[in-house]
Amino acid sequence: MAGVITSSFALVLAIVALTVTFVGAAGQVKPPVNLVAGDSVTINCAGGKLSNVSSSNTAFTIKCLGAPAIAQLTNISAGAALKGKVNIEAKVTEGSSPIANVLFELFQNGQKIHSWVEPAAPYFYYGDNNAQPNGWDTTNRADGQYSLSVTVTGSDNLSSNLKVNFSIANVVVVPTATPTSAPPTATPTTPPGGVQDSMSMGLWNPNPKFDVCKNADGSINADATARIKQFHDSFSVIAPDGKRYPTWHPPVAKDPATGAMCSFGHEHGKDPSTFPNWQEIKQYFAYNGDVARSGIPFGYVNEQMDAWVTATGSNIPMRHEDHVGHKVEWGTNISVDIVKGSNGAKTPSGVTCNYFSKVHQGTTSHDAFENNLHELFYMVKCSDGQDLKLARMMEFGKAGQFLRLCDPEGDRTTVINTGFSYSNAAYPGTAQDGVRNITDRSCVINNFLVPGNKWTMNMYEAWPGSMSITGAQGQPLVRTLDLLFDVENSMRYYYPGKTHPELADASKYSDAGFTMDLCYEVLANGNKSHGGACDAATNSGSIKGITWDDPRSAYKGTSRGMYVKPGDVQNASGPAIWYTDPFGQNAKTTPFPGSVKQYIVQRDINYGQKFGGFVDPTKMNSDFDAPTVHAPN
C-alpha cells in the first residue's frame, strides 16, 4: 500500500481496497470502515492530538493522545473572598499518559507573583506533609484582587489549564464599638451594658505621625482618625471573669463608619481565628458559655493575679503588661520527633500536634530587663490524644536580672543585675525556671558596631522557660513543657544610664538603647554597623533620619520564633478541668478567687518512656512585618 497523512489528517488511498479498523482506549474493537480506490478518510482527535505510533510497508498505527484535565479546585471558586489559611487542591484526571506535574501560578494585576509546582498527588498549592496540606497563608498577601492559574501536564507534554479570579479579604470589619468617654487609667471603668473593663483595656494610644485612617485615594480621613482609639479598642472579648479585654486584631482594619482603612501601627502575630482548633479555644475562655463574645483575652491572667493577691494577702505585687507585647503564634500537623542516643539524630514518632500560644514578649521598652513574669497561653492537641489548654504567668528566670546574650565564653551564663526599680524581688522565679537572654551595650560594642571586615550581629533575644502545672501537694500534672520564644529584630537593648528626654513617656525607656539608632552610630575607632538589616533599611547609609519608631525601621520585633513540644501528663485519675493560682500551682477541682482554669487531658502520657528517647522541640518561624508597623510593637 501507499499513503500520506495530510495536515488535515486526511488519508488518501492509492490501492484497490482497504479496511480500517478502530481500537478504543480500553482495547475494544470498533466497527471497521471499508474503503475502495479513490476514497479518503479524515481522522479527528477530539481534545488531543494525533501521534504516528508505528508504520510499515503493510500497516500503520495512529493514536489519539488525550490531555489530562482538572476536575476540581477545592476551597476556591470564581469570585470567592479568601482569608486566613486555605487548603487549595487540584483534583485531576489523567489523559493518555500519567500526570507529570501540576503548576500553580498566582497573579496580581496581570503580573505573576508566585508559582508552585507539585510533582505528585495530592496536588496542593504550597504542598503537603504526608498528604496533610501545608496550606496557603493568605495573610502574607495584601487584600485585593488575584488570579490563580492551575496547569496540569501529562508525561506526553499535553496539558490543560484552569484560571480562577478571586479576592483576598483578611482585613477585619467589626461593628462599631460601644463608646466610652473614660480615658485609659489604672482604674477600670464600667461601659454601658454592665460589662466591666479590665485593667488591660485602653492601654494603647495612637502615634499621630503614623497611626491614621486613610480613604481609598490615600488621603487622611479626619473623622475616622479622630476615633481610631475607640475603633482599636472595639476589638475586645469577654473573659471567664465576665470582664472585657482587648484581643487580637490586624495591623490595618476598615472603619465601619467611614470605610477608611485605619493603621494601628502594631501587630499581634497570627490570626487566631484561622487556627483549626479555634472553637475549642473560644469555649475554653467563654464566660458562662458565651462563645460568641469569647476569644483570646489579653491580660486575663494578669488580672487574675490581682484578684489572687488581694484574696490571699500575698506580698507579691500586681503585675500589668503593655498592649503591644501580646503575640500570637500557631502551627499545625507538626511532627513530634524523638532523639535517641548521643548522635543527636531525630526520628519521627508518628505523632503530630497542633500548637497555639499567646505570649507577652515585650522587646520595645525596658520592662523585660527587670520583670520575669509574662502572661502565657499554651494549647496543644496531638494525634495520640494529648490535649492541653493552659494559662498562667510564666517565670522566665528571676526578677531583677537577665543573662547577657553574647558573653565572651559564648555560653550565655553572665548574669546582668538590673535591680527592682519597676519589678519586685517577691516575684516567683528561679534560674531553673528559664531565663531572658538579652543583648546589652557590651554585645553591641563587640558584635554590632564592628570593623569593616566583619558583619553586624542580629539583634537577637531568646526567652526559654519551662511551663508546668502542679497539684495542691506539689504533684506534677503537666511537666517537661520546655519552650522558647525568640525575636530576631529586637527594637531595643540594655544600655545602662541611657535616657530619652525627647519622649513623652521617657520613663518606660530608661536604660534602653534603640537598635535603629545603631545604624547611624560610629565609634571613636571607626567601628559601625556593616551589612544586614541596617544596610537594607538605610540603603547602605544613604537614607538618613530613620528613627526607632519609624515604619521604615529595620528593627520592629516582627521576626519571631517559637520552639514547641507536647509535654508529659499525669492526670489519668484526675478531672479534665483544674483551677490553679496564676502561677500554675496549687491545682484544685473548684474555682477560688484569682484562680485560672486549666484543661488537662485525663490520661498519663510520658513521651520519653513511650518512645525511648526525649522529645526534640520544633521551631516555628514567622515574620509579621507590614508597611504600617512601627515601634512600639
pLDDT tens readout for residues 353-385 = 999 999 999 999 999 999 999 999 999 999 999
| Nearest-angstrom CA–CA distance, 40 and 14 | 10
Strand extents, DSSP E, 386-475 = 387-395, 401-404, 415-417, 437-438, 461-470
pLDDT band at 431 (very low <50, low <70, confident <90, very high): confident
Whether the pLDDT of residue 19 is over 90: the answer is: no
| Nearest-angstrom CA–CA distance, 209 and 230 | 18
Lowest mean pLDDT among 135-144, 388-397, 474-483, 532-541: 135-144
Cβ neighbourhood burial of 289 (10 Å; 0-12, 13-18, 19+)? exposed
Q: Phi and psi for 336 in degrees, rounded to 5?
A: -90, 110
pLDDT band at 128 (very low <50, low <70, confident <90, very high): confident
Nearest partner of 94 among 120, 75, 68, judged by Cα: 68
Give me the chain's average pLDDT, please: 87
Strand extents, DSSP E, 248-345 = 252-254, 261-263, 326-339
Nearest partner of 285 among 258, 255, 247, judged by Cα: 247
Which residue shows C-alpha cell 472603619? 255
Q: What is the pLDDT of residues 486-521, one digit of tens each?
A: 999 999 999 999 999 999 899 999 999 999 999 999
Domains delineated in the chain:
10-66 (no CATH), 69-168 (2.60.40.10), 300-623 (no CATH)
Task: Write down the pLDDT at residue 15.
Answer: 40
- 26 vs 500 pLDDT, higher one: 500
Which of 17-31, 132-146, 206-220 tops mean pLDDT? 206-220
| Nearest-angstrom CA–CA distance, 349 and 187 | 51
pLDDT band at 11 (very low <50, low <70, confident <90, very high): very low
Strand-pairing partners, residue 106, are 114, 148
Cβ neighbourhood burial of 363 (10 Å; 0-12, 13-18, 19+)? buried
- Segment 421-434 shows an average pLDDT of 86
- Segment 279-301 shows an average pLDDT of 95
Lowest mean pLDDT among 33-47, 55-69, 446-460, 520-534: 33-47
Task: Write down the pLDDT at residue 169.
Answer: 85
| Three-state SS at 271 | coil
| Nearest-angstrom CA–CA distance, 534 and 530 | 7
Q: Are 565 and 615 in contact (CB under 8 A)?
A: yes
Which residue shows C-alpha cell 503580573? 111
Dihedral of the CA atoms 499, 502, 504, 507 (nearest 10)? Answer: 0
Q: What is the pLDDT of residues 553-574, one digit of tens each?
A: 999 999 999 999 999 999 999 9
Per-residue CA distances from 290 to 197, 247, 387 (Å):
17, 16, 22
β-bridge pairing 48-55 and 81-82: unpaired
Task: Extract the C-alpha cell encoding 96.
Answer: 493518555
Task: Write down the pLDDT at residue 3.
Answer: 33
Answer whether the bond into residue 476 is a cis peptide, omega within 30°: no
| Nearest-angstrom CA–CA distance, 153 and 133 | 21
Whether the pLDDT of residue 179 is over 80: the answer is: no
Share of the chain above pLDDT 90, in %: 68
Q: b/e per residue, 587-599, with b = 16+ CB within 10 A?
A: beeeeeebbbbbb
Q: Are 620 and 564 in contact (CB under 8 A)?
A: yes
Which secondary-structure segment (H or E) carries 111? strand 111-118
Q: Are 632 and 340 in contact (CB under 8 A)?
A: no
Task: Write down the pLDDT at residue 126.
Answer: 86
pLDDT band at 56 (very low <50, low <70, confident <90, very high): low
Neighbours of 563 (CB within 10 A): 16
- Segment 117-133 shows an average pLDDT of 87
